[in-house]
Amino acid sequence: MQQTRRHILEILKERKEATIDEIVTALSERIGKITAVTVRHHLEILRGDGLVAAPAVRRRSAPGRPQYVYALTERAADYFPNNYQGLALGLIDQMKSQLAPNQVSQILEGVADTMTDEAMVPDGPLEVRLDHAVNYLNNHGYTASWRHSDNGRLVLTVTNCPYEQVSCTNPELCKMDEKLIRGLTGARLQRMSWQLQDDESCSFLIEDNHK
């Protein structure tokens, strides 16, 4: 990422929100003199990338012109160091060391159920439910799509797993994902490919439970 925009993200991370003038002042301390026009240009690029939210009005304690502040979006969190993978691995290792396998499965199935409830699955034809499922998965770090196969059957494919580095040693997470997809689609699944077995993607034949 371009250095000035990286600095702007860091400033907004530190301050939670900031006006153009506040960003100009903070940037000037880091990289030297910079104009408000240039900062606005960088902010517009960051907004276009989905990393900075549209400006919001800051409430003032005294009369005067409203101040507009900028803040990071949730997506911007990916640009900062984190240890989510280490935390997830640690939690799963502790679960597996202290609980029976069926108890671990129950907990992960509960996670899938919670995500399904959060998704508010619509009624309607399977294709409508698949569209909704793909949208939900893609908004949660997966890269998913569905298609009609050559023989007319429905196939859902996932090419990116958001916790691939964790699931490679904990295939129980794959079972959790299968339950999630069943919940999102209201369908029966038949696994066709599996990234843990060196396939390029995880894919499933989808059969409608409503028929």
Tens of pLDDT along the chain (211 residues) come to 799 999 999 999 999 999 999 999 999 999 999 999 999 999 999 999 999 999 999 876 667 678 899 999 988 988 888 888 899 999 999 999 999 999 999 999 999 999 999 999 999 999 999 999 999 999 998 999 999 998 889 999 999 999 888 999 999 999 999 999 999 999 999 999 999 999 999 999 999 876 5
39 and 108 inside one domain: no
Among residues 79, 108, 140, which one ends one of the domains?
Answer: 79
- Do 69 and 141 fall within a single domain? no
| Predicted pLDDT at 210 | 64
113 and 180 belong to one structural domain: yes
pLDDT at 83: 86
Based on the domain organization, do 120 and 71 belong to the same domain? no
CATH code, 157: 3.30.70
Largest CA distance in the chain: 69
Which range of residues forms the domain containing residue 59?
Answer: 3-79
pLDDT value of position 79: 83
Indicate the residue among 50, 79, 108 that finishes a domain: 79
pTM above 0.75, yes or no: no
